[in-house]
């Protein structure tokens, strides 16, 4: 267990030193994953709600795909985005490969299914209660969707957390499309992978502890905001 206490003190030390290289990496991690989770929510929340509310041919298949896509392997997503963004790929002219933008794109692909699938289930459960009533009041499908998203907003947050967790923690996709380039596309997880490669497990663990602490801070902040809003609204 010595390893762990060493790692903890190392983590503490790194944080106290406020090492600028570390701050840069933390900043990029947060920037990439928060942007990705925002975009994924903008797509996934209405998508999930629509799949819960609209009946159309082939919906079952899309839902199954969505549930399965919660298990998209990061490396595969990374490869696909790589092929699309690479110089010889269809979007090669944009020159996005090995930039933070490419990392955001890959993470959006990874987590949109998670946000959408979890949103679908939450809206489906709420719909049980609300559907008939809203319909009787004259709400059209699109309005019903908005109303349900709003009424369940506190519950939906948990799905968004799950998406954020996946984004901030994954390494396979960002490594391939970002390249873990020092001072350019190195984020916490790729840095951890690098230290692990080097066999510096202590440093890798210390970085891991810092990453988890950051996740904890972000989630706690959002949770308290949610709690305050919830108290206010009831």
Return residues touching other proteins (CB under 8 A).
82, 86-89, 92, 95, 97-98, 129-130, 132-133, 135-140, 143, 147, 151, 175-176, 179-184, 186, 190-191, 193-194, 196-202, 233-234
- Cα four-point dihedral sign 201, 202, 207, 212: positive
| Interface with a copy of itself, residue 11, by CB under 8 A | no
Q: Select 39 or 76, whichever has its Cβ closest to a copy of itself.
A: 76
Integer-rounded Cα radius of gyration of the chain: 20
Q: Among 97, 121, 117, which Cα is nearest to 174's?
A: 97
**The entry of a copy of itself, other proteins, none that residue 50 binds, CB within 5 to 8 Å by partner kind:** none
Q: How far is the CB of 211 from a copy of itself (least distance, A)?
A: 6
| Interface with a copy of itself, residue 193, by CB under 8 A | yes
d(CA 113, CA 97): 23
**The entry of other proteins, a copy of itself, none that residue 183 binds, CB within 5 to 8 Å by partner kind:** other proteins
For 93, which DSSP code? G
Q: Which of residues 55-84 bind a copy of itself (CB under 8 A)?
A: 63-65, 67-76, 79-80, 82-83
Q: Which residues, 6 or more positions from 17, have their beta carbon under 8 angstroms from its beta carbon?
A: none
d(CA 192, CA 198): 10
Q: Among 34, 44, 14, 22, which Cα is nearest to 149's?
A: 44
Q: Among 72, 54, 80, which Cα is nearest to 115's?
A: 72
Among the residue ranges 1-9, 13-21, 101-109, 142-150, the one whose residues contact a copy of itself (CB under 8 A) = 1-9
d(CA 198, CA 184): 20
**Residue 37 main-chain phi, psi, to 5 deg:** -70, -35
Helix/strand/coil for 86: coil
Q: Select 73 or 95, whichever has its Cβ closest to a copy of itself.
A: 73
Q: Select 55 or 87, whichever has its Cβ closest to other proteins.
A: 87
Q: Which residues bind a copy of itself (CB under 8 A)?
A: 1, 3-4, 63-65, 67-76, 79-80, 82-83, 89-90, 114, 117-118, 120-122, 124-126, 129, 152, 155, 158-159, 161-162, 164-172, 176, 188-189, 192-193, 196, 201, 204-205, 208-209, 211-212, 215-216, 218-220, 223
């Amino acid at each position: 267990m010595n390893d762990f206490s060493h790692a903890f003190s190392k983590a503490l030390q790194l944080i106290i030193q406020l090492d600028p290289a570390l701050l840069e990496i933390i900043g990029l991690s947060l920037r990439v994953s928060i942007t990705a989770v925002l975009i994924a929510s903008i797509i996934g929340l209405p998508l999930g709600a629509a799949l819960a509310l609209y009946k159309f041919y082939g919906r079952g298949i899309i839902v199954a795909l969505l549930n399965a896509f919660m298990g998209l392997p990061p490396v595969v997503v990374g490869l696909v985005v790589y092929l699309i963004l690479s110089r010889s790929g269809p979007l090669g002219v944009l020159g996005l490969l090995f930039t933070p933008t490419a990392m955001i794109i890959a993470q959006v692909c990874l987590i949109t299914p998670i946000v959408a699938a979890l949103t679908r289930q939450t809206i489906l459960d709420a719909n049980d209660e609300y559907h008939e009533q809203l319909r009787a009041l004259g709400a059209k499908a699109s309005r019903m969707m908005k109303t349900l998203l709003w009424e369940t907003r506190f519950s939906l947050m948990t799905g968004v957390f799950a998406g954020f967790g996946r984004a901030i923690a994954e390494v396979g996709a960002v490594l391939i499309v970002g390249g873990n380039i020092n001072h350019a596309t190195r984020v916490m997880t790729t840095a951890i992978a690098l230290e692990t490669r080097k066999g510096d497990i202590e440093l890798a663990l210390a970085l891991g502890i810092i990453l988890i602490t950051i996740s904890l801070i972000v989630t706690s902040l959002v949770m308290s905001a949610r709690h305050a809003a919830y108290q206010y609204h009831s």
